[in-house]
Structure 1
């Protein structure tokens, strides 16, 4: 039985990865300080003897040393992430750099493989579409705090590759593009798809940042989980940076209209447009994000199975069920 340590296990991707690994016969140690993750996401697994949960911060190196001792693989998902949270620039930089350094250090100590969760944000304002892993990145000015998240993840990538090349730690870097599920936070930290679903089912205004023409490529979580497990198992992926997501592109406003149509509430879609500056202060949006999945296909045999509509339908069904249960 393979032993896996997941950081950020109570988050959206982490909790679904936990489900899949337990179903596959793995033994899992999960840590999360619950600052963004929710214990409800892992509660159904707390009685599983193959799972151990610890409310631990990744800044706690001494505890990490103990918990990682028997791990074959560490999947490092924990971070201060998303743009709104990145307004806390100091926390973003400290947790995502010092915490990541701690994870890589215990991996070096116990000689275990690491799958490091990076982000499409690292491409910044690059005009080269679709985004390729070997393409240039274009990060905005340091005076704009929204870039602290991207910079912290780029640092993590460089650190991962240094630990791999200098210390022999097997590292795989995954740049996730826009995941969502019914466990996503129904706030902007969970992305626009879940918050639109939440608002439309409750006949609330749908808040659109900017004019809504910016596009995103969103992936249903099961695709991201499958890709992550492929990375855990692949020898060819070691020492590589790999995009993971779905290349299907849709504008934010088109996504709102699609969800409204699929929800079939019979209510009018009410859109409210707000400027990025109203929400985030000084800000520069990324107009388009599309992953080139060539590397994931070649090295991992990865192919997304869920269309955007498939994922929305699954989340809508579960959100409706929860709404009925609470009423």
Structure 2
């Protein structure tokens, strides 16, 4: 990386300017800094105050959030995070995996584009913040930034709020870079193929194949679907494309939704209820669960699916529960994400 230098023909007092680069900023949901009460409270407070996530009127929602929810929920959420925490690195698995993904994508970009492309990651909630990483990229000479929310399916509560935060960060820059955002990639053949490969590997390692694969997506209020959010449709298409790539019929695979919060009706069927129903009513004894809405394993997969949802299935009479991990830094996943990046850099770089 070349150091900043004063432009040719500029007066002596002109500030130094670094060589021009292109930034690729990956974004994920976020993570608390630790699982203690105050770390959890700060993180949950930021997350649950986002009007894209909870769109109730602030006068109604904030008193409930600040006085009741944030007094109790940090304890239960902290306990859940503690059960999956990467103690060796002092961080959540989501942080570890996102850093590994970034490093591997950076290797791909360096091999193709040399030092012209700078790759880094940020979190919508918590650290490293979107604002801090935009600032670093601009300071490093990134006059163009490609912002990549790592959500295969678009949702207002994930992709849109990440983009919102990115644009807010740009508003504070004196020399504002050109910007692009990456759209949803749920129907890309290379992404679907990476998902299918992960299913095939998991099944190959089992003595008996599961009778059913549940494709579990993070839920959202059903009202959001009726208001025009495309998330539900994109989830359903992801499952259909995965089924077609695997060559299965409808009886072997189904779409469900997890992580229900609050009193509203959310997208159904609920994963935690459906696994119990399969065991209790259909006599299903072996199931597998995969979570394609998450690009990296996190609290919703490692704790909710692999502990709470597993317990629901076994408690209802199920015998064999297989959780198929997220794609994380799998080579096929990194190749697909890198291809998405290259396509979205078209016109910015040869």
Q: TM-score, normalised by structure 1?
A: 0.32
Query: Which one has more relative contact order, counting CA pairs under 8 Å at least 6 apart?
Result: 2
In terms of Rg, which structure is larger?
Answer: 2
Q: TM-score, normalised by structure 2?
A: 0.31
